[in-house]
Structure 1
Amino acid sequence: MIKTSRNAEKDSRTQFIKFRVSDEELEAINNKFQNSGMKSKSDFIRTMIMEGHIVIFSETELREIHRLMTTIANNVNQIAVRANSTGKVYDEDIAEIKEEINQIWQPLRYFQSQLLRLKH
């Protein structure tokens, strides 16, 4: 009998890994497996473990980005209200928003660099 590479691969896999998951975790795994287009759940899980990435973002940094975005949104809203009521937009308002946007770029660039590293 001639063994195909697929059969040889299966024969080399003699170890089992068993772990517990909650109902919600199992549902999430099954949904991701179904969306993956892969035919074997074992191949799917093996691929996710061997080739997947774990991305951990700092909650503190995410909260800071959220705070900065909220500040910018509030300032833009205040300028819009003032512009609608007076018909004027002040240079100081625009300068303040530009400064706030510059502050948010640094953490966003950091997150972008972390995500780009995953591609390689």
Structure 2
Amino acid sequence: MTALFDRIDTFVLPVADYQAAADWYAAKLGLQATYVDAGECLAVLPLAQGASLTLWQRKAGGPAPDPHAQGAFPIFATADAAAACATLKRRGVRVGELERGDGVLYFRFHDADGNCLEACQVLQPGA
């Protein structure tokens, strides 16, 4: 069977205030919104390889994310997880421990809304 899809286009994250969230992602992660829809209350932040992160404001009274819940979350690729972790710490982002998995080095962190994010480095064989 032929696959219907070839890649993820965007990952939608619910946020309390899309403009404040876009400012946080710009200041902390260096991601700049290239499309903003004030009517829909969303901002699109493109990534280098074609996918994007869409920050979409929750409706009034909608539930806030539970930072301890397991659910879908974006994983950002990085060439150097240790350097990315250190940079985020310098920028005032609370990050988890750098962990080694099967062929990867990664860490988790949360945005200002409590959304879980992860950064992952694929290690060279034997590293």
Normalized per residue, the structure richer in strand is: 2
TM-score normalised by L of structure 1: 0.20
Structure showing greater radius of gyration is 1
